[in-house]
A and B are shown apart, each in its own frame.
Chain A
């Protein structure tokens, strides 16, 4: 069976009038496989699975702690990938990691392993477009959609290049900062969403600083979907388990579904 295409799948859902919800789960942390099942049961359209890296410069304290705990607990890239293969989640899975993990394995080997494990996408926050061309070509040829990020600081000319080169969706970074929960949604989140929507028909998802149902609802008024990471990972760290994850993602689902097109 061919892998579920991230872009085709998300575009289809978006075009059917649905807002998209993509939770982030730190791979290798505790009962993460059950958590992924739970968030899918709660209505996730795709799931981002983090492969922990020792030096995650785009992540705030929550995901740093989750990454460190997972690594100390013996999590490895191949271990996480083979769990994904075994689990066969039924929605598109994108791995989120840092470039050294990819580079260390080698582009070709990493891309074919992802493909072999039924993974549809990659998100590598420290691999910006100018350095990403070789990886994108390799990912393309293995059927992996490499998702690029656009930031509030990105100038218009570069936005055009980013939406052109991204696959799967364009990941709008909601604020100038690292991942983590915030008390309120940054105004830059909707601004980034607006700019990206004006430049592409690919799905526009906003992540970083989207922490609760009302913030998710607010951001999908403009964007096609929301990515929620730290708020979910904090619940994992607190030991809320699959039922806690299910309840939280269900709330988010309900909030963004309540939005009338």
Chain B
């Protein structure tokens, strides 16, 4: 039996997960679980999901061998090109699935939270494609640092609501989306963007994202003459691209590495706690108040992490490491110059760990797959400002 199978009936991965939501939301969580389980076993639903991702989403995305970076580092680097998926990141895989479920439930409206704006853009895109209304909650701080994505969402017909409570970032956008969902649950599906939230979200989103790992497994076996990569590396905020990637390699011999931002490293620096409907590792103070995360990357600026990652860490199947803002910026520039690919700040964390550890923790000559979860256009302004001079 695979280590990444279905969670228990109460939505547990080991001790993690569950359904810690207000009573008002329980019927919606139970309905979603039932509808997802039916859909996931319905060839017609799966056919539609795969057709849209193929014809509209640009799947399968390629795996690219990074020749110059490989020579530079002395390890063989392959990347899974989610940056080439429609909307510029892996988020499209999940939202197409959830938008189809929204229609299946007879609902006409989706709400979503977003940090970097990638999930908001993806949700707005899926809503436009399938004729659904869309409202996106986004922390005020993120609205400022991701202005381009705010404009894209509006072009796509979505309403963007700036959230001014708490730390005014992703964590608070989730709170506000949940509060709205309590009010509108009859007509509205909450399209959560990562492998987090109450059951069935962590499981469901991982299944919608496992297409990354399933494709990459087949592709790397061809490219590596029947072998799997020695290391499979992905960045982890909530952890959806990592969960999707790991799912394809969980039963192989590949070592699985999740890279957290140093300022938001829930697995490395947090302890188990409850927020946003789940029990998982969480950055919190000494009485249990949730702490704010601090990362250069809006998409990883989250004090919690998906419960399945806490589980994989607890059993030692995946290893979680950190990268700091400075090495991330350097990695972003190095990959851009050597390969002609500008990574988003999120996957630049995964690249940063690889660049730091190649020839150290990663023995020379190893094969490494990194999921390039998104492209860097959205971060150009942030990066330009930090490097000095602006655009």
Contact = CB atoms under 8 A, between A and B. Distances in A.
Interface of A: 53-58, 60-61, 64, 68, 71, 76-78, 98-101, 103-105, 125-131, 148-155, 158, 162, 173, 176-178
A125 B287 contact: no
Interface string B179-190: 100111110000
Contact of A128 (B21, B171, B184, B289): B21
B22 A100 contact: no
Interface of B is mostly: mixed
User: Which of B18, B19, B182, B272 gathers most chain A CB within 10 Å?
Assistant: B182
13 contacts: A54-B166, A57-B22, A61-B165, A77-B288, A103-B274, A104-B288, A128-B20, A128-B23, A131-B10, A152-B24, A154-B26, A176-B182, A176-B185
B20 to A, nearest CB: 5
A150 B24 CA distance: 7
Contact of A149 (B22, B183, B279): B22
Contacts of A152: 24
A151 B22 contact: yes
A62 to B, nearest CB: 12
B290 interface: yes
B20 A126 contact: yes
Contacts of A131: 10, 18-20
Contacts of A128: 19-23, 26
Contacts of B276: 55, 57
B166 A177 contact: no
Given A54-B166, A57-B178, A104-B273, A149 B23 contact: yes
Of all A-B residue pairs in the complex, the 6 with the closest CB atoms, nearest first, are: A104-B288, A151-B24, A54-B289, A177-B183, A100-B274, A54-B290
Contacts, number: 114
A101 B179 contact: no
Nearest to B176: A57
A99 to B, nearest CB: 5
B12 to A, nearest CB: 10
A173 B175 contact: no
A118 B24 CA distance: 30
Given A55-B290, A101-B287, A176 B24 contact: yes
A57 B27 CA distance: 17
Interface of B: 10, 18-28, 165-166, 171-172, 175, 178-179, 182-186, 272-277, 279, 282, 284, 287-290
Given A60-B179, A104-B287, A155 B27 contact: yes
B259 to A, nearest CB: 25
Given A57-B175, A64-B165, A154 B287 contact: no
Contact of B288 (A61, A103, A153, A155): A103
A103 B273 contact: yes
Nearest to A59: B179
User: Which of A99, A103, A177, A178 gathers most chain B CB within 10 Å?
Assistant: A178
A176 to B, nearest CB: 6
Given A77-B287, A101-B287, A130-B10, A58 B26 contact: no
Contacts of A153: 24-28, 185-186
Given A71-B289, A126-B20, A126-B21, A100 B179 contact: no
B183 A100 contact: no
Contacts of B287: 76-78, 101, 104-105
A138 to B, nearest CB: 16
A127 B290 CA distance: 17
Given A55-B275, A57-B175, A126-B274, A178 B23 contact: no
Nearest to B10: A130
Given A103-B272, A173-B23, 12 more contacts: A60-B179, A103-B274, A125-B22, A128-B22, A130-B19, A148-B23, A153-B28, A154-B27, A173-B24, A176-B185, A176-B186, A178-B179
Nearest to A128: B23
A100 B24 contact: no
A151 B186 CA distance: 13
Contacts of A126: 20-22, 274, 277
A105 B287 CA distance: 7
B175 to A, nearest CB: 5
A105 B22 contact: no
